[in-house]
């Protein structure tokens, strides 16, 4: 039986047999012939490793020990549950404040290129109350739709109709970059892209942030369409995609969601959007625009997490002797997370060359993992991350 001791502030093991067993499994820190444990390590050993803890000869139970730390560490059970699940999988996690070191972060590269822009002599009519514009020139409408996949020519997935319908992102983009002349249906006068932006801002929150992300991906020659059906702001097609290609309808493989830094969401709502994307076999990409250096905050970091590696044809667990894989952050389905908090976690993980791994505890204490991997868009103003469900 493992023997632990507690003096009200520190938890440790001192008998050789206990020290040997817990060090073999990378628990605690060895110092002055003792191994000192943090609270979640001690709780795990009590609950699952047949350990006993005593103070002044009195046996200390799980709740006795946990309660003594709960006030100072209000997220204790959420953190413990994440630690417990990772350890149950035979994997090692160490508190971030105990071990720090650069990991081996890898970023994904997307096949972007510079969009070929040309000036177009055309007139479209803007309907401010509907946030749509209409191009009646059938020939030009087909060209914009088939070559650039701007707007919707005719009726969606139906071979009828001759109007090109453009949403407000497309209207602003064409007015700004293609020189398209826009006439307001309300006034009969010309409206520039700034006027159109002002119209949209009155009806749609975070218009500028959404448009700036849209514009950046478009200028890198990605096709950006609405992601409404998939619970996201946009769906993304890689350069070269066109609705005019023969054969089956082209399906997007990525959705893009903008998380403004001012916004706060329940973890359960945020997770739902990711699950919808995964349910239709699409990669979920997250953008947090308009972050300044002064926006980042001092946010508590939880664990460095290790996984498994191949060794002589077998998978073996990684240990603190290896580079860590993840910054593992513990949250619950009833927590709120804001754009600033998430951006801070992403920056801290990137600074440590780690991937961010969110461990979400539901109300039955089951754990769901999402890993966030950086996406490289050349010369990008912003940072983007793929979010994938992960099973350790």
pLDDT digits 0-9 by tens, 305-350: 999 998 888 999 999 999 899 999 999 999 999 889 999 999 889 8
- Taking alpha carbons only, the member of 143, 118, 116 closest to residue 221 is 116
Phi/psi for 258 (5° steps) reads: -95, 130
The verdict on domain 115-219 having CATH code 2.40.10.220 is no
Collapse the DSSP code of 148 into the 3-class scheme (helix H, G, I; strand E, B; otherwise coil) and give the result: helix
Distance CA 239, CA 284 (A): 18
- Taking alpha carbons only, the member of 292, 297, 299, 319 closest to residue 307 is 319
Inter-residue contact 372 to 386 (CB < 8 Å): yes
What pLDDT score does 100 carry? Answer: 63
Q: What percent of the chain has pLDDT over 90?
A: 67
CA distances from 204 to 174, 185, 199, 211 (A): 19, 19, 9, 11
CATH 3.40.1170.20: which residues of the chain?
Answer: 2-74, 115-219
More confident residue, 260 or 185: 185
What pLDDT score does 98 carry? Answer: 60
What pLDDT score does 370 carry? Answer: 95
Distance CA 275, CA 231 (A): 9
DSSP state of 69: H
What pLDDT score does 272 carry? Answer: 85
CA distances from 351 to 255, 269, 272, 344, 356 (A): 26, 28, 28, 10, 11
Distance CA 278, CA 140 (A): 36
Mention every residue, 6+ apart, whose C-beta is less than 8 A from residue 306: 91, 92, 93, 317, 318, 319, 320, 322, 324, 325
pLDDT digits 0-9 by tens, 73-105: 999 999 999 999 999 999 999 999 766 656 666
In this prediction, residue 44 has a pLDDT band, given cuts at 50, 70 and 90, of very high
Distance CA 62, CA 152 (A): 62
Distance CA 147, CA 224 (A): 13
Other Cβ atoms within 10 Å of 114 Cβ, number:
11
pLDDT at 58 exceeding the cut of 60: yes
Measure the CA angle with vertex 384, ends 257 and 327; round to 5°. Answer: 110
- Describe the crossing of helices 168-177 and 207-219 by its angle, rounded to 10 degrees: 60
Looking at domain 2-74, its CATH architecture is 3-Layer(aba) Sandwich (3.40)
Inter-residue contact 104 to 352 (CB < 8 Å): no
């Amino acid at each position: 039986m493992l023997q632990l001791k507690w003096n009200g502030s520190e938890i440790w093991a001192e008998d050789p047999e206990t020290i040997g067993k817990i060090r073999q499994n990378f628990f605690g820190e060895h110092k002055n012939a003792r191994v000192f444990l943090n609270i979640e390590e001690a709780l795990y050993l009590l609950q699952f490793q047949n350990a006993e803890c005593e103070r002044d000869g009195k046996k200390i139970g799980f709740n006795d020990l946990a309660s003594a730390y709960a006030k100072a560490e209000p997220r204790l059970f959420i953190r413990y549950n994440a630690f417990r699940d990772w350890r149950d999988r035979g994997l090692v996690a160490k508190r971030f404040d105990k071990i720090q070191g650069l990991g081996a972060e890898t970023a994904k590269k997307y096949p972007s290129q510079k969009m070929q822009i040309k000036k177009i002599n055309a007139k479209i009519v803007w309907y401010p109350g509907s946030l749509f514009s209409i191009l009646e020139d059938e020939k030009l409408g087909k060209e914009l739709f088939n070559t650039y996949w701007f707007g919707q020519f005719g009726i969606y997935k139906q071979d009828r109709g001759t109007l090109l319908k453009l949403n407000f992102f497309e209207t602003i983009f064409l007015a700004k970059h293609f020189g398209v002349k826009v006439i307001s249906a309300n006034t009969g006068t010309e409206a520039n892209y700034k006027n159109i932006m002002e119209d949209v801002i009155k009806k749609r929150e975070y218009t500028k942030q959404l448009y700036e992300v849209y514009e950046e991906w478009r200028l890198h020659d990605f096709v950006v369409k609405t992601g409404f059906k998939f619970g996201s702001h946009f769906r993304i097609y890689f350069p070269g995609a066109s609705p005019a290609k023969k054969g089956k309808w082209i399906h997007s493989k990525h959705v893009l969601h903008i998380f403004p830094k001012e916004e706060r969401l329940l973890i359960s709502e945020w997770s739902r959007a990711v699950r919808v994307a995964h349910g239709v076999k699409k990669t979920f990409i997250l953008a947090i625009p308009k972050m300044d250096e002064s926006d980042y905050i001092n946010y508590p970091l939880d664990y460095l997490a290790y996984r498994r590696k191949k060794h002589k044809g077998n998978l073996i667990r990684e240990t603190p002797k290896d580079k860590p894989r993840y910054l593992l952050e513990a949250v619950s389905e009833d927590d709120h997370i804001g754009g600033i908090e998430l951006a801070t976690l992403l920056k801290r993980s990137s600074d440590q060359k780690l991937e961010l791994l969110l461990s979400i505890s539901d109300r039955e204490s089951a754990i769901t993992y999402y890993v966030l991997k950086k996406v490289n868009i050349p010369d990008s103003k912003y940072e983007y991350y793929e979010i994938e469900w992960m099973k350790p």
